[in-house]
Chain A
Amino acid sequence: MTTPDEREELELVRALRQGEEAAFRALVDRYHASMVRLAMSFVSTRATAEEVTQEAWVGVLRGLDRFEGRSSLRTWIFRILTNTAKTRAMREGRQVPFSSLADPEDGPAVDPSRFQGPESRWAHHWAAPPTRWETVPDASILAGELRNRIDEAIAALPPMQRQVITLRDIDGWGSEEVCNVLELSETNQRVLLHRARSKVRTALEAYFAEGEPRA
């Protein structure tokens, strides 16, 4: 059985192989921006990420005859992108971390000083609890300063955490496809996602605290 999505993809691939420009435009509109964003976690500048993505698209076109539909078209395209980006990163002299490697600098999700010490009656419960964020704008109209802060918080993450949160939370992919594209085990993917989200939450907490009057 093929799903409507798969049928649509196969139709796109057929049109591409026949050289239909509209099919290529549709695919670029759908994935290019996400590809550049992901590429930025492998290489040092936006310009290089654009180049890498361009190179990946050429790889996609040249490899079309080899696409057999064993993975989704999107997975296949993004695998080409990550391979292209890794090659470029190595040429740039950047370390490409192994997927099993945990970042030794990573601490817990929340600063331990926010919890009561072990001698307390309420050991390991909140000492400085989080307070409700009062002014969270609707995500659909997110703009300006807050948007920049989230962007910066994600850009500051170690590369693999950044890759996972980019695909999972920015692009909204499921965990299985993310594991396939980034060649991660499900558990590692989840650990990376947890660390990434925890750090972005911490950055947001700092942002929302700034808006409050000082005590």
Chain B
Amino acid sequence: MLRKLTCRELVELVTDYFEGRLPRGERRRFERHLAGCDACSIYLEQMRQTIELSGALRTDDVSPVAAAALLEAFREWRVASR
């Protein structure tokens, strides 16, 4: 039996866990620790929330000034490439 994972070790493995990059045995140790540790479960949930909240920064807005400048560049390119 492998030594149990400590909380301090677990927090360094969260991204590997999310990315599915933990070897099977290591994943089992990770999940076994989580099952018995509320604090680490909360930590994991916070990392999930962090990822989700970062995703909220996504925007698709193009400023009108930038859009106009780009269209002009496009038209110049079109003329030049004919």
Contact = CB atoms under 8 A, between A and B. Distances in A.
Among B12, B14, B54, B63, the one with the most A-chain Cβ atoms within 10 Å of its Cβ is B54
Given A62-B77, A197-B51, A190 B56 contact: no
A135 to B, nearest CB: 11
Interface residues of A, number: 56
B73 A197 contact: no
A108 B58 CA distance: 28
B78 A19 contact: yes
A115 B52 CA distance: 26
Contacts, number: 140
Interface string A190-213: 100110011011001100000000
B73 A61 contact: yes
A192 to B, nearest CB: 10
A61 B77 contact: yes
B46 A197 contact: no
A109 interface: yes
A139 B53 contact: yes
Given A33-B59, A133-B46, A126 B7 contact: yes
Which size class do B's interface residues fall under?
A: 35 or more
B14 A204 contact: no
A57 B73 CA distance: 9
Chain A binding site: helix, strand, loop or mixed by DSSP?
helix
Interface string B22-64: 0000000000000001111011011101111111111111110
A110 B66 CA distance: 41
B69 A109 contact: no
Contacts of B52: 139
Contacts of A169: 51, 54-55
B53 A142 contact: yes
Interface of A: 19, 21, 24-25, 28-30, 32-34, 36, 50, 53-54, 57-58, 61-62, 108-110, 112, 115, 123-126, 129-133, 136, 139-140, 142, 146-147, 150-151, 154, 165, 169-172, 175, 190, 193-194, 197-198, 200-201, 204-205
Interface of B: 6-9, 11-12, 14-16, 19, 21, 37-40, 42-43, 45-47, 49-63, 66-67, 69-71, 73-75, 77-78, 81-82
23 contacts: A19-B82, A24-B71, A32-B67, A33-B59, A33-B60, A54-B66, A54-B73, A62-B77, A109-B11, A110-B11, A125-B8, A142-B53, A147-B57, A154-B54, A172-B55, A172-B58, A193-B15, A194-B15, A198-B11, A200-B50, A200-B54, A201-B50, A204-B50
Given A33-B61, A129-B43, 13 more contacts: A24-B71, A29-B60, A33-B62, A50-B63, A109-B11, A123-B6, A124-B6, A124-B8, A125-B7, A139-B53, A142-B56, A197-B15, A204-B53
